Amino acid sequence: MTIILMNNSIIPQHGWPSDYVRRYREAGHWRGETFGALLRDRALRHPDRLALIGGGQKLTYGELDQRASAVAAGLRAGGLEPGDRVIVHLPNIPEFVIAVFGLFRAGILPIYALPAHRIAEIEHFALTGGARGYLCAAEHGGFDYRGLAATLQERCPGIEHVIIADGDAAPYTALRAIEAAGAGADLPATVSAPQDIAFLQISGGTTGLSKLIPRTHDDYIYTLRESARICGLDENSVFLCALPMAHNFPMSSPGFLGALYAGARVVLSPSPSPEACFELVAREKATHCSLVPPLLMLWLDAAARATTDLSSLRVMQVGGAKLTPEVARRVEPVLGARLQQVFGMAEGLVNYTRLDDDADTIIETQGRPISPDDEILIVDDHDVPVPPGEPGHLLTRGPYTIRGYYNNPAANQHAFTHDGYYRTGDVVRLTPAGYLVVQGRAGDHINRAGEKISAEEIENHLLAHPAVFDAAVVSVPDDYLGERSCAFIIPRNEKPRAIELKKWIRGRGLAEFKVPDQIVFVDTFSETAVGKISRKALRAQLRAQLQEQKPVQAS
């Protein structure tokens, strides 16, 4: 099982020091698996079993494997090489799965973008990831991605290949044409090594712009294997993928990839709304689903009124943002499914409540880590461990937590300790039983319904507006979203209209969820604030001011 010694040296795993590589391989966490080989193996074991349902298509494991192979061969024939990066910007359609397994098989690295991302984010991924390709839908949710592709190619000459996954591709290449060109080619199951980077996930962008997260085949597949086991997912399970599938949560905890790992069936919903999902649950007899808290609240309200049969649901996973105990308590009585809290991050560490935990643990905590080799430290502002049970900053390292962002030494200096712990930015406390309870965030990001927004990124865009003298963006507690965003603005001369500033942000080509929910105009950021305290302290002050409901002019 171990692939350790070669002339007495260890084959390196991207990112980890050799003593950890040895340890994780010896423990059997890393088993030398790759995505390309994984799909081939499942296709050989059960070719006729249904793997994927969505967008009017049904694919067996055999068909998925064949189509991924054809895509891989077509991509290679079109000039893309192993090691190249391609941005994958797709909604929940079967082509997502076909294409990413095609990329895996060809040794090309997907960079996952969210459907809500717009040109500003995509351009940033293209540049920082050195992408050669951009794969998108023709149109989705009323947005024309081909227009975005045109701007992207103007701004980033490195993007040589634009591929449209569905619909009318002109003037670009259709995924269908790539698949046709590669049909029947005899590619090996994989050209990648298990220790190679398989893809780049994106960080929530805690400070400034999103960073790219390199995940290796072996480390990610380890989380799939263990997540499937912890969540009770097996070949009889049906995973309903309701959240955007590029998110790390519905992708891997255990998500659609964990479901395919387990030989289960994946059903794709074009939207996470109860209207779209309930019918799919009833028709496809879905057993597992993952949601963020605000969507869970919609589901609970709708389920209380619904006549649809949801009785197949066994596990309802909730994560991405803090779930309040009041809402958590309603899950089992209303949905008839076991609640599982999930606290994870695309950088690695994932915690689950276990299905057989007692009710208090499931309702009050955000779970415990996947792996016995996940190391957790809870520290104060000086990296000194806090007394047991006290809240502090969560640091972690382990067999599936990255040791560094992709090509970003400056960010790595802050985000990791000298001995390789990742600074999650979360404030947590540990229960005596070893479960984590999330208390909040140390950093200045806004967790808006599970979508992470960097205050700094939005401030920079606001500061570019000619009528804005200064801007500070803070989070505000929100009953439904968990948190919403509020921008405090000091106008330069004439006060701009709030609606104009929101339009400005949209016009900068940013995802809609980053548009401030609320804008407050102020004359100054208080006497002590100007130039004398950090942005972080200023944001904290403004947040407190808003919560005290000081008379400010809101919009």
Binding site for ligand DBH (CB under 6 A): 248-249, 252-253, 319-320, 342, 344-346, 350, 450
Question: From the list 217, 225, 452, 465, which residue makes contact with ligand AMP (rule: CB under 6 A)?
Answer: 452
Q: Which does 253 bind (CB under 5 to 8 A by kind): ligand DBH, ligand AMP, none?
A: ligand DBH
Our measurement of the distance from residue 63's CA atom to the centroid of its chain's CA atoms, rounded to an integer in Å, reads 27
Range in contact with ligand AMP (rule: CB under 6 A) among 229-237, 250-258, 424-432, 528-536? 424-432
Q: Is 253 in the site for ligand AMP (CB under 6 A)?
A: no
Q: Is 204 in the site for ligand AMP (CB under 6 A)?
A: yes
- Smallest distance from the beta carbon of 248 to ligand DBH, in angstroms? 3
- Count the site residues for ligand AMP by CB under 6 A: 21
Task: DSSP letter for 236, please.
Answer: T
CB 461 within 8 A of CB 511: no
Question: From the list 344, 392, 399, 516, which residue makes contact with ligand AMP (rule: CB under 6 A)?
Answer: 344
| Dist. CA 486–CA 490, nearest whole Å | 13
What does the buried/exposed string (b/e) look like for 371-405 if buried means 16 or more CB atoms within 10 Å of the residue's CB? Answer: bebbebbbbeeeeeeeeeeebbbbbbbbbbbbbbb
275 burial type by CB count under 10 A (0-12 exposed, 13-18 middle, 19+ buried) = exposed
- Whether the CA torsion 502, 471, 124, 421 is positive or negative: it is negative
Site for ligand AMP in 293-332 (CB under 6 A): 319-322
Q: Which does 203 bind (CB under 5 to 8 A by kind): ligand DBH, ligand AMP, none?
A: ligand AMP
- Smallest distance from the beta carbon of 394 to ligand DBH, in angstroms? 14
- Smallest distance from the beta carbon of 486 to ligand DBH, in angstroms? 22
What does the buried/exposed string (b/e) look like for 196-231 if buried means 16 or more CB atoms within 10 Å of the residue's CB? Answer: bbbbbbbbbbbbebbbbbbbbbbbbbbbbbbbbebb
> Which is nearer to ligand DBH, 161 or 445 (by Cβ)?
445
> Which is nearer to ligand AMP, 415 or 519 (by Cβ)?
415
Q: Which does 194 bind (CB under 5 to 8 A by kind): ligand AMP, ligand DBH, none?
A: none
User: What x-and-dash track marks residues 66-105 binding ligand AMP by CB under 6 A?
Assistant: ----------------------------------------
DSSP letters, 39-69, are: HHHHHHH-TTSEEEEETTEEEEHHHHHHHHH
Our measurement of the distance from residue 38's CA atom to the centroid of its chain's CA atoms, rounded to an integer in Å, reads 22
| Dist. CA 390–CA 378, nearest whole Å | 8
Q: Is 345 in the site for ligand AMP (CB under 6 A)?
A: yes
Site residues for ligand AMP per CB under 6 A: 203-204, 248, 319-322, 341-346, 366, 424-426, 438, 441, 447, 452
